Chains A and B, each alone.
Chain A
Amino acid sequence: MTKAANFSLTRRALGGLGLGLAATGTARAQDMAGKTIEWIIPFAVGGGSDVWARFHLPLLQKHMPGNPTVVIRNVTGGGSINGANQFAQRTRPDGLTIMGTSGSTQFPYLMGDPRVRYDYRAWSVLMASPTGGVLYVRPELGVRGAADLAKLQAAQGLKFGSQGPTSLDVVPALAFELMNLNVQIVFGMQGRGQGRLAFERGETPIDYQTSSAYTSQVLPLVREGKAVPLFSYGILNAVGDIVRDPNFPDLPTFPEFLKAATGQDPSGPAWEAYRTLFVAGFAAQKFVVVPRETPRAMQDLYRTAFTRIFADPEYKEKRGTVIGEYDEVVGEAAEKAYAAGTVISETTREWIKEWLLRRFNHRLG
């Protein structure tokens, strides 16, 4: 079949299906054939976000009407601040440029890093992608669960290897704060893998990994009795509550753990800060966004495409290593996650700034 014939077939098929798109939208949809979509990834080739995007790329090409070409453009620098700044300043709202963000894009924005020149309120979310994490300790501590929190609080020489005060590892640091633990936080880890190595060598007795690394690297240690999982971070359900991670249904979530240990639901500014950063860093770690002025019909093309991708058997079969058993979401669930992970009250932001200074002597920027 010639390419032209193929296009017209797609066009007819689309028209015939009457996908409920607005009339103007249909016109745009047809235009997608032969177009090139640029997907900005503000991280390096081969990194987590890059692999995540490259996994979706062929599926997006397949499910966007007209089968446009999608290319990934890596714009690195400043731990994704550079790429996000460029996207904010240069992108036309024509729907032909989209961006994939990650926790490292959300965090400096939420904390008020002076280098940030982008604003999540100027973007619309097309898709949100969650992940999770599990916190675990060395068995010598004798801590098995929430009932042993007092033992953990009394433990001497607790150390944790962190990638930096404003990295994703700030989430467990806040969890330590909420648990009232005395943990010495050692920075300079290049990636979570090094933190895990330090744990395995016995240099740090407490560590966490995101879900896929936990499953492939730490579960074998748990089976050998060399690590004890305490809780998972949990995930957000459709109404925005933190519930058990489907990958680790037997592990309590962090709020569950806290409640079991202290008898109270967590609250207060530290909890607010934890919750926001947890959502931005884990429960809704990655977003696909476009400028808000992008025509609604154009945005819906992507939403429909992602919905179809999630139902594609190939996607279901292969998502394991890249996304884990998590459900990526579009539509209202994505909007909820977006709001929870990109909106922060001024009080909470100030509290985080003050805490970073008090706890780590760290000033932003």
Chain B
Amino acid sequence: MLDALLMALTALASPERLGYMALGVLIGYAIGVLPALGGLAGLSLVMPFIYGLDQVSALAMLVGLVAVAATADTFSSILMGIPGSSASQATILDGFPMARRGEAARALSASFIASMIGGLVGAVILTGAVLIARPLILALGTAELFMLALLGLSMVGVLAGKSFAKGLIACGMGLALGMVGTAPATAEYRLDFGLIYLSDGLPLPVLVLAIFALPEIIDLARGGGTISRSADLGRGWILGLQDIMRHWWLLLRSSSIGSVLGAIPGLGGSVTDWIVYGHAIQTEKNGQFGKGDVRGVIAVEASNNAREGGALVPTLFFGIPSSGSMAVFLGGMTLLGIEAGPAMVGSRLDLTYAIIWSLAIANVMGTLLCFATSPLIARLTTVRFGLLAPFMMMVVCFGAFNNNRELADLLLLLGVGLLGLLMRRFGWPRPPFVVGFVLALPMETYLYQAVQFYGWDFLTRPGVMIIAALIVVFAWLGIRKRRLADTEEDGGSTDTGQRQPQAIFAVIPVAIFAAVFIDAMRHSFLGAVFPMMIAGAMLLISVPVLLRLNFGRVGGSLFHDAEANAKPEDGSFWAHLGWVIGLVGLSALVGFLLANTIFFLSFLRYAAGCTWRMTLFLTSIATIGLIMVAKLLTLDFPQGLLQYFFELPWPLR
């Protein structure tokens, strides 16, 4: 085995192949640095160019891209509080508060080293998997997968923050939105309102951007000034390294959990960081999680790089992709003439080893690249946010409509973004919402399948009982007052706020659950039982909360309004939302490209107060960049009424 590993390394070490790997690393880096875009977008970008490449070169490029995207996406998570991709959502909870209090360098340094080590652990696990992947993956049946989904859901306990009831309801809203689309057991369409878009289910990337990125941009734009309160990054580079050395055990645990969960096909990779983050909260002493605890950054960043190594296991050895980016990776392999499957541990073991080496080397390359460029990128945080905001909006919109490439993506972004904005304001924790959303479909599918395959006896399977025991242990650890300090920053005691706005907002979850319940009534038993149970239970929790917010005594853990202490000079809470509504609304009229251009011109000139010269300059850069990327991806921008009535040439069409 060692011989073969070394041979693979020698084969990889030709200038041409390393060159392609470096190219992959660069593209992955660029995609990663941009908020909202991750490995999936990067892979789609290079797909047209891989046909005809040498197999090892192309694999090195693809693996390099995926590995580095998971490292570089930390930048926007930490520096701006905007998820760099749906893979690094949990990083924002501690990374961004650190950056705001002037510890960006420390957070970035800890994160890059954690990413690198996590990536290397992933490579080691993948190497080990060559020997044992098959029995291990086959040991996890639908029953065990259902329990793993429950394990993920149990993290809501520690992610809920101040008010457990609000955490549960937030999770329920996520579950409810996750049930939109095709029912797994019967293929009935739930809550689709006759629209094809909804019948596919809501796209996760749009949801993550809406719930985390949009509120953050609006908030930053409103505050004016710069993201970082101090002008420099701090001198924390060494400190970050020390953090890593101090928390090496957490780092190893997170990497292992990340790669193992990543290797399980069908769980949905995006829940991994929340499980790992929850695990860190549950097991670490004296945590200040959610308020800038470096351990939160280390755990999540180690796990999301390790996960990519794990995710390759089912992809390579079973031909079953465990995530969206792995699906594209698998397509790329087919195009290169490589068939995934048992051959990858047999006659094509050389390729597997080449992939493992690429993963390891690319992780190191990527980390060096991130370190080298971070002083430059970090300077963005000292730029007036008014200048950055339109770019952020554009990239977030792009990340959203790159899913289905239609206006509906933008409308969903706006709708859920508004929900996220209000949840943030009124202290409804958003992480449980995402956890619920991600797990809704796997939970229902595997529960139904497990009952079909094993009957209710599935509960007595040894694997199921082991996972159940784990859930109990973790829940117990979580109860011992180890929680997310507060999911939103500055959770002081004085911001319980006024009754009325919160009381009105609490109607929304009740309405959502009622809608799910009513919709379920028209479906067959198997299509209705899961949504009815969830919605029914959630109504029992959310109605009392609604009543207490309306008629109970103001105060306690339930009441929260971040606007209670808002500075009047920052302007109205709604003002900057208007810009987002304007951009999406205008897109509905004239299509996204034109709308975005108009948005840039007016925002920069009037909201940011730029000179016309500066305004025109920045707008042209943005528009040209947008068109170039669209050209590369062969996509049409979301269309509006204008395009409906008139046939226009690309890119306006």
Contact = CB atoms under 8 A, between A and B. Distances in A.
A79 to B, nearest CB: 8
A10 interface: no
Given A188-B449, A213-B319, A361-B186, A54 B47 contact: yes
B524 interface: yes
B404 A321 contact: no
Contacts of A161: 449
B44 A188 contact: no
A46 B47 contact: yes
Contacts of A365: 189
Contact of A193 (B47, B52, B200, B319): B319
B342 interface: yes
Given A54-B47, A77-B196, A193-B318, A320 B186 contact: no
B38 interface: no
B576 to A, nearest CB: 31
Interface in A160-181: 161, 164-166
Given A159-B452, A165-B187, A193-B318, A77 B634 contact: no
**Interface residue range, chain A:** 35 or more
A44 B47 CA distance: 12
A27 interface: no
B184 A187 contact: yes
A242 interface: no
A54 B335 contact: yes
Contacts of B265: 193-194, 197
Interface in A169-208: 184, 186-188, 190-191, 193-194, 196-198, 200-201, 203-204
B391 interface: no
A26 B287 CA distance: 76
A97 interface: no
Contact of A55 (B51, B137, B138, B339): B51
Contact of A78 (B47, B200, B339, B452): B200
Interface string B612-648: 0000000000000000000000111000000000000
Contact of A82 (B43, B48, B196): B196
Interface string B394-428: 00000000001110000000000000000000000
Interface stretch (B274-282, B301-309, B326-334): B326-334
Nearest to B452: A186
B223 interface: no
A360 interface: yes
B266 A190 contact: yes
Contacts of A213: 319, 341
Contacts of A46: 43-44, 47, 327-332
Nearest to A166: B187
B649 to A, nearest CB: 12
Chain B interface size band reads 35 or more
A204 B634 CA distance: 41
Nearest to A72: B634
Given A73-B635, A194-B265, A159 B187 contact: no
A216 B200 contact: no
A215 B334 CA distance: 14
B612 to A, nearest CB: 36
Contacts of B341: 213, 216-217, 220
A45 B452 contact: no
Interface string A137-159: 00000000000000000000001
A212 interface: yes
A81 B188 CA distance: 16
A79 B141 CA distance: 27
Interface string A72-92: 111111110110000000000
A331 interface: no
Given A78-B196, A360-B186, A45 B340 contact: no
Interface string B320-351: 11000001111110110111111100000000
A142 B251 CA distance: 50
A216 to B, nearest CB: 4
A76 B404 contact: yes
Given A216-B339, A321-B338, A54 B141 contact: no
Nearest to B445: A188
B331 A216 contact: no
Interface string A43-57: 011111011001101
Contacts of A38: 634
A166 B327 CA distance: 22
A259 interface: no
Given A216-B343, A361-B524, A194 B47 contact: no
Contacts of A166: 187
Nearest to B332: A46
Interface string B425-450: 00000000000000000000100110
Contacts of A196: 318
Contacts of B405: 74-76
B634 A217 contact: no
Nearest to A90: B647
B142 interface: yes
Interface string A201-232: 10110000000110111001000000000000
User: Which 9 A-B residue pairs are closest in the complex by CB-CB distance?
Assistant: A46-B331, A46-B328, A188-B184, A193-B320, A78-B196, A216-B341, A216-B339, A164-B187, A188-B445
22 contacts: A44-B327, A46-B327, A51-B334, A55-B51, A57-B48, A57-B51, A72-B48, A73-B634, A78-B199, A115-B199, A186-B452, A188-B185, A193-B321, A194-B266, A194-B320, A197-B318, A201-B141, A203-B141, A203-B454, A216-B340, A220-B341, A361-B186
Given A48-B331, A51-B331, A76-B405, 11 more contacts: A45-B44, A46-B47, A46-B331, A54-B51, A72-B48, A77-B197, A77-B200, A186-B453, A193-B319, A198-B142, A216-B339
Interface of A: 38, 44-48, 50-51, 54-55, 57-58, 71-79, 81-82, 115, 159, 161, 164-166, 184, 186-188, 190-191, 193-194, 196-198, 200-201, 203-204, 212-213, 215-217, 220, 318, 320-322, 360-363, 365
